[in-house]
Chains A and B, each alone.
Chain A
Amino acid sequence: MKVALLVNGAVREVDVEPRKTLLDTLREDLSLTGAHAGCEHGVCGACTVLVDGAPVRSCLMFAVQADGLDITTIEGLASAPGELSVLQDSFCETHGLQCGFCTPGMILASHALLEANPAPTRADIAEAISGNICRCTGYGQIVEAVELAAERLRLANAPRAAAGGRP
Chain B
Amino acid sequence: MKPAEFAYVRPASVAEACAVLASNPDARVVAGGQTLVPMLAMRLARPSILVDILRLPELAGIAEEPGTLVIGATTRQVEAERSSLVASRLPLLAAALPWVGHPPTRNRGTVGGSLANADPSAEIPLVAVALEAEIVTEDEGGRFAMPADDFFIGPMLTAAPEAGLLTQVRFPVWSEPCVGVGFHEVSARRSDFAFVSAAAQVALDPDGRCTRIALGIGGVGDRPVRLDVAGLVGTRVEGDRVAQAVEAAAAVLEPTSDLHASAAYRRRVAILLGARAIGDAVADAQEKGAGR
Question: Does B191 have its Cβ within 8 Å of any Cβ on chain A?
Answer: yes
Is the pair B6, A18 in contact by a Cβ cutoff of 8 Å? yes
Which residue of chain A lies nearest to B30 when distances are taken between CB atoms in the complex? A65
| Binary flags per residue of B145-181, CB closer than 8 Å to A gives 1, else 0 | 0000000000000000000000000000000000000
Give min CB distance, B47 to chain A, whole Å.
11
Q: A41-B38, A65-B52, A130-B191 are in contact. Are A19 and B2 (CB under 8 A)?
A: yes
Q: CB within 8 A of B1: which of A18, A40, A48, A61?
A: A40
Q: Considering the complex, which residues of chain B in the window 53-90 have a beta carbon less than 8 Å from any beta carbon of chain A?
A: 54, 78
Is the pair B33, A130 in contact by a Cβ cutoff of 8 Å? no
Q: A130-B103, A130-B191, A131-B101 are in contact. Are A18 and B50 (CB under 8 A)?
A: yes
Question: Does B22 have its Cβ within 8 Å of any Cβ on chain A?
Answer: no
Question: Does A42 have its Cβ within 8 Å of any Cβ on chain B?
Answer: yes
Bound complex: CA A3 to CA B102 (Å): 28
Question: Does B248 have its Cβ within 8 Å of any Cβ on chain A?
Answer: no
Question: Does A64 have its Cβ within 8 Å of any Cβ on chain B?
Answer: yes
| Binary flags per residue of B1-41, CB closer than 8 Å to A gives 1, else 0 | 11111111010000000000000000000100110011011
B104 partner residues in chain A, CB cutoff 8 A: 45, 48, 54-57, 109, 131
Bound complex: CA A39 to CA B102 (Å): 16
Question: Does A6 have its Cβ within 8 Å of any Cβ on chain B?
Answer: no
Q: CB within 8 A of B41: which of A17, A59, A130, A131?
A: A59
Q: A18-B8, A42-B38, A61-B37 are in contact. Are A130 and B102 (CB under 8 A)?
A: yes
Question: Does A1 have its Cβ within 8 Å of any Cβ on chain B?
Answer: yes
A39 partner residues in chain B, CB cutoff 8 A: 1
Q: A41-B1, A41-B41, A131-B191 are in contact. Are A54 and B78 (CB under 8 A)?
A: yes
Q: CB within 8 A of A57: which of B7, B30, B108?
A: B108
Question: Does B107 have its Cβ within 8 Å of any Cβ on chain A?
Answer: yes
Is the pair A56, B1 in contact by a Cβ cutoff of 8 Å? no
Which residue of chain A lies nearest to B39 when distances are taken between CB atoms in the complex? A41
B103 partner residues in chain A, CB cutoff 8 A: 55, 109, 127-128, 130-131
Question: Does B105 have its Cβ within 8 Å of any Cβ on chain A?
Answer: yes
Question: Does B190 have its Cβ within 8 Å of any Cβ on chain A?
Answer: yes
Which of B34, B78, B103, B190 has most A Cβ within 10 Å?
B103
| Binary flags per residue of B96-123, CB closer than 8 Å to A gives 1, else 0 | 0010011111011000000000000000
For the complex, count residues of A whose C-beta is within 8 A of B.
Answer: 28
Question: Does B252 have its Cβ within 8 Å of any Cβ on chain A?
Answer: no
B50 partner residues in chain A, CB cutoff 8 A: 18, 62
| Binary flags per residue of A10-49, CB closer than 8 Å to B gives 1, else 0 | 0000000111010010000000000000011110010010
Is the pair B41, A56 in contact by a Cβ cutoff of 8 Å? no
Bound complex: CA A36 to CA B54 (Å): 26
A131 partner residues in chain B, CB cutoff 8 A: 101-105, 191
Is the pair B1, A57 in contact by a Cβ cutoff of 8 Å? no
Which residue of chain B lies nearest to A39 when distances are taken between CB atoms in the complex? B1
Q: CB within 8 A of A60: which of B10, B33, B52, B54?
A: B33
Bound complex: CA A98 to CA B40 (Å): 32
Is the pair A40, B41 in contact by a Cβ cutoff of 8 Å? yes
| Binary flags per residue of B183-208, CB closer than 8 Å to A gives 1, else 0 | 00000001100000000000000000
Give min CB distance, B113 to chain A, whole Å.
12
Question: Does B42 have its Cβ within 8 Å of any Cβ on chain A?
Answer: yes
Between A and B, 24 residue pairs with Cβ closer than 8 Å are: A18-B5, A18-B7, A18-B8, A19-B4, A21-B37, A39-B1, A40-B2, A41-B38, A41-B41, A42-B38, A48-B104, A51-B108, A54-B104, A55-B107, A56-B107, A57-B105, A59-B41, A60-B105, A61-B33, A61-B37, A65-B54, A130-B191, A131-B101, A131-B191
Starting from the known contacts A56-B105, A57-B104, A109-B104, 4 additional A-B residue pairs (CB-CB under 8 Å) come to A1-B8, A18-B50, A40-B2, A130-B103
Q: Which 4 A-B pairs have the closest CB atoms?
A: A131-B102, A18-B8, A40-B1, A41-B38
Interface residues of B (CB under 8 A from A): 1-8, 10, 30, 33-34, 37-38, 40-42, 50, 52, 54, 78, 98, 101-105, 107-108, 190-191
